[in-house]
């Protein structure tokens, strides 16, 4: 004897974005805070030490913001012209920045006036950074050169002029205090060792390099330029590992999250894409109002700060973890009540009575089991089911139709219920997965309640709504058919070529024109 089989609710795979762990994680940010800066934000850098302040370079100012403050807690504005690339040292106490006039300034985070000034570049300096030994600074300028400076003496240690175009980005290795890389508009990324007189490695990116990044391990290098983000294996001598083309405009900035598992890229196409560093697939993406120039992620991924071309700074904070302490407060029976007798092994003389497994049925299933079709339909027309899981409602309607009792279940309802039913039908009938069932339902409702049309204003309104919805859908479908027709003509021209080559192929036998339709 078979047990009652519950109604099968057709689960439709959700189209579009699939919910993964990543989407859940990256969605866990509050609504962004917008801060207006004076000019395009070209660099954002987080202090590596708590409380994780961040320095924002825009126009001729460097603002330092606190974690939750929307006003800058400190401003460095001693620049005659635009400032570039304000970067923290590893201990978070020094800040270096380049400027339009070619000088590099070194600030104490607590002070105001620059501690040191490095003069040597003849053109604007867009790249400044600390080497990981904390005592040296590297820089890159529009005079095609990249220099290395000693902080203590404020003198130039070495100058490399190997690039043939502006040097716009760079990065220091965290594992080796002598190694840093620079990316230039001459389409190359060069790796320098402070101990040698020339570059150790040159990587051809193929587009003007806008941003480079080294993985914490130092083994992998990421370069962004043009629409491409490329990952290179440094240890293998600069072999291309993967080339990502997920943006449709120039990628301007790169960033790793705190765990190093995800790579973020911001682009002029207003998107930030997040890649998994294991599979190099896009796992999530944000979009913003305008083109993105700079991007930074605070330690522990608490804050995402994005700087735009129009001078807006977009700050997103992570939502605090929801605490479920309330539910835990409820006193629950002791653990041993649950395990009582569970471990008892029956002896040989014991007579075992197995407890039948109780099957839990939904309310509508219980009613369907006892053939109460009208009540079963009532059960699925309750607002929570109807609003949140319309597929259940439709599945029950389909089951009733299959049993041939849908008409009697729909009949004999009062104004309120008919109103409810019609609202549901009018709203859902255009969804392709529900259409076949709901069209029959709508047919039956109109059949059954035709004699009483005009007696209730509410029901009449619902009928009109249904008519509108269906009319609109028909218009859409017609338009779509037109588009399909156009596409078919395109396909036909496409397949014509194929036919000719096929006719060349044929040796003998009957060959006729084929229509092939590629579908995916």
Partner 1 sequence: RRVFPRCRYLLYASGDFVKVHSVNTEETLRLLCGHADLVTGIQLNPQNHMQLYSSSLDGTIKLWDFMDGILIKTFTVGCKLLALHTLASAEDSVFVVIPKKGERDTFQLVSVKLTKGAGQNLESNELSVVLDDVGASMKHIAFGREGSYVVSVKDVNLQVYFFKRKLLNRFSLSTVKTKGGDNRFSCVVCHPTEDCIATGHADGKIRLWRNFHHRKAYTYSALHWHHDIVMDLAYSIEGTRLLSGGVESVLVQWHNESSCQKDFLPRLGSPIEYISMSSDGVLCCTLHTDNRLSIINSNLRFSRSIQGLIKSRDVKTGLVVDPRTKALVLNGEPGHLQFYSLQSDQQLFSLDIVQRQYIHQAGLKQSDLVKVAFSARGTWLATVEESEELTDPELQLKLWFYHEETQSFTLNTRINTPHDNHITDMCFRDMDELGDDSIILVTAGRDCVFKVWVMVEDSDPEAHQNVSWSCDFVGSYHSYQATNCCFSEDGSLLAVSFEETVTVWDSLTWDLKCTFCHPPGNIRNICFGRLTCSKYLIGATDYGFLCCWNLLTCALEWSAHLNVVVLQPDPLSEHIAAVSWLSKESSLFVFKPSEPRPVYIQRNICKEKILLAAFVPRDEPEMISSEKYLWLRKSQLFFLTDTQELMTLSTKSLEERLTPSSKQLAVEESLPVTPFSLLLGKHRRQQAQEDIDFGKPVVPNKQEQASPAVKELLHTPAHVLPSASFLCTIFINSLLISKENKSTEEVADEVEMESEKAEDDSDEEDVTAMEQEDTSHMELLGEMTCKLSKSQEKELRKIRKMDYSWISAF
Query: Which residues contact partner 1 by CB under 8 A?
Result: 1-5, 7-8, 10, 18, 20-21, 279, 281, 368-369, 399, 402-404, 436, 502, 506-520
Chain centre to alpha carbon of residue 357 = 44
CB of 505 to partner 1, least distance (A): 8
If we measure between CA atoms, which residue out of 451, 440, 455 comes closest to residue 410?
A: 440
The SS3 of residue 146 is strand
- In the complex with partner 1, which residue's Cβ is closer, 51 or 509? 509
- Work out how close the CB of 449 gets to partner 1 at its nearest, in angstroms, rounded to a whole number: 25
Q: How far is the CB of 513 from partner 1 (least distance, A)?
A: 8
What contacts 162, CB < 8 A, 6 or more positions away? Answer: 146, 190, 198, 199, 202
Closest approach, Cβ 230 to partner 1, in A, equals 22
Buried-exposed string 389-401: b where 16+ CB fall within 10 A, e elsewhere = ebbbbbbbbbbbb
Ramachandran assignment for 404, one of left (phi > 0), alpha (psi -120 to 50 degrees), beta (any other): left
- The full length of the chain comes to 520
DSSP 450: G
Distance CA 174, CA 234 (A): 14
Q: Specify whether the CB–CB gap between 190 and 140 falls below 8 A.
A: no
Cβ atoms of 279 and 271 closer than 8 Å: no
Cβ proximity to partner 1: between 19 and 339 the closer is 19
Residue 289 CB, shortest distance to partner 1, in Å, is: 30
- Name the minimum Å distance from CB 433 to partner 1: 8
Closer to partner 1 by Cβ: residue 202 or 259: 259
Let me know: does 29 contact 304? Beta carbons within 8 Å: yes
Name which of 33 and 502 has its Cβ closer to partner 1. Answer: 502
Closer of 4 and 494 to partner 1 (Cβ): 4
Buried b (16+ CB within 10 A) or exposed e, 460-480: eebbeebeebbeeeeeeeeee
Complex with partner 1: residue 340 or 433, whichever CB lies closer = 433
CB of 363 to partner 1, least distance (A): 16
Closest to partner 1 by CB, 310 or 495: 495
- Nearer to partner 1 among residue 117 and residue 511 (C-beta): 511
Q: Please name the residue that has the structure tokens 């859902």.
A: 428
Beta carbons of 97 and 56 less than 8 angstroms apart = no
Q: Which of 428, 414, 427 is nearest to 458 (CA)?
A: 414
Cβ distance 47 to 35 under 8 Å?
A: no
CB of 346 to partner 1, least distance (A): 23
- Locate 359 and state its tokens: 């099957």
Nearer to partner 1, 18 or 329 (CB): 18
In the block, which residue shows the tokens 């129009």?
310
Distance CA 426, CA 188 (A): 60
CB of 6 to partner 1, least distance (A): 8
Q: Is 410 helix (H, G, I), strand (E, B) or coil?
A: helix
| Shortest Å distance, C-beta 509 to partner 1 | 4
- Minimum Å gap between C-beta 74 and partner 1 is 44
Beta carbon nearer to partner 1, 51 or 432:
432
CA distance 55 to 73: 10
Tokens of 77: 């504005």
* Residue placing its CB nearer to partner 1 in the complex, 317 or 366: 366
Residue 74 pairs in a beta bridge with 64
């Amino acid at each position: 004897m078979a047990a009652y089989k519950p109604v099968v609710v057709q689960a439709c795979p959700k189209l579009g974005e699939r919910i993964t762990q990543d989407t859940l994680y990256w969605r866990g940010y509050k609504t962004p805070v917008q801060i207006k800066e004076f000019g395009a934000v070209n660099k954002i850098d987080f202090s590596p030490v708590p409380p994780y302040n961040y320095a924002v370079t825009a126009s001729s100012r460097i603002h330092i913001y606190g974690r939750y403050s929307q006003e800058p807690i400190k401003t460095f504005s001693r620049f005659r012209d635009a400032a570039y690339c304000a970067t923290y040292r590893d201990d978070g106490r020094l800040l270096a920045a380049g400027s339009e006039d070619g000088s590099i300034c070194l600030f104490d985070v607590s002070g105001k006036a620059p501690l040191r000034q490095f003069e040597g570049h003849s053109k604007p300096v867009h790249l400044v950074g600390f080497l990981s030994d904390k005592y040296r600074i590297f820089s890159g300028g529009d005079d095609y050169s990249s220099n290395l400076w000693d902080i203590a003496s404020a003198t130039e240690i070495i100058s490399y002029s190997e690039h043939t175009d502006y040097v716009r980005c760079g990065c220091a290795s965290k594992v080796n205090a002598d190694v840093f890389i620079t990316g230039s508009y001459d389409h190359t990324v060069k790796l320098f060792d402070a101990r040698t007189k020339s570059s150790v490695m040159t990587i051809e990116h193929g587009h003007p390099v806008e941003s480079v990044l080294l993985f914490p391990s130092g083994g992998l290098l990421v370069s962004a330029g043009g629409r491409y983000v490329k990952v290179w294996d440094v240890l293998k001598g600069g072999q291309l590992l993967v080339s990502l083309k997920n943006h449709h405009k120039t990628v301007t900035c790169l960033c790793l999250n705190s765990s190093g598992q995800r790579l973020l890229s911001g682009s002029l196409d207003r998107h930030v894409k997040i890649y998994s560093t294991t599979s190099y697939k896009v796992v999530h993406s944000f979009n913003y109002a305008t083109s993105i120039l700079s991007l930074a992620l605070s330690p522990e991924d608490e804050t995402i700060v994005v700087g735009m071309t129009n001078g807006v700074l977009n700050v997103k904070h992570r939502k605090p973890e929801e605490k479920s302490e309330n539910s835990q407060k409820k006193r629950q029976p002791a653990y041993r009540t649950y395990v009582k007798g569970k471990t008892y092994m029956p002896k040989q003389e014991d007579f075992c009575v197995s407890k039948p497994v109780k099957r839990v049925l939904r309310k509508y299933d219980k009613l369907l089991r006892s053939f109460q079709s009208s009540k079963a339909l009532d059960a699925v027309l309750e607002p929570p089911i109807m609003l949140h899981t319309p597929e259940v409602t439709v599945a029950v309607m389909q089951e009733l139709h299959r049993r041939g009792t849908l008409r009697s279940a729909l009949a004999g309802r009062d104004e309120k219920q008919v109103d409810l039913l019609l609202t549901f039908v009018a709203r859902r009938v255009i969804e392709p997965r529900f259409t076949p069932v709901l069209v029959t339902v709508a047919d039956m409702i109109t059949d059954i309640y035709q004699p009483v049309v005009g007696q209730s204003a509410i029901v009449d309104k619902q009928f009109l709504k249904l008519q509108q919805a269906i009319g609109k859908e028909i218009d859409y479908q017609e338009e779509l058919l037109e588009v399909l027709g156009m596409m078919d003509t395109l396909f036909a021209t496409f397949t014509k070529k194929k036919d000719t080559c096929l006719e060349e192929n044929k040796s003998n036998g009957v060959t006729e024109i084929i229509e092939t339709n590629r579908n995916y």
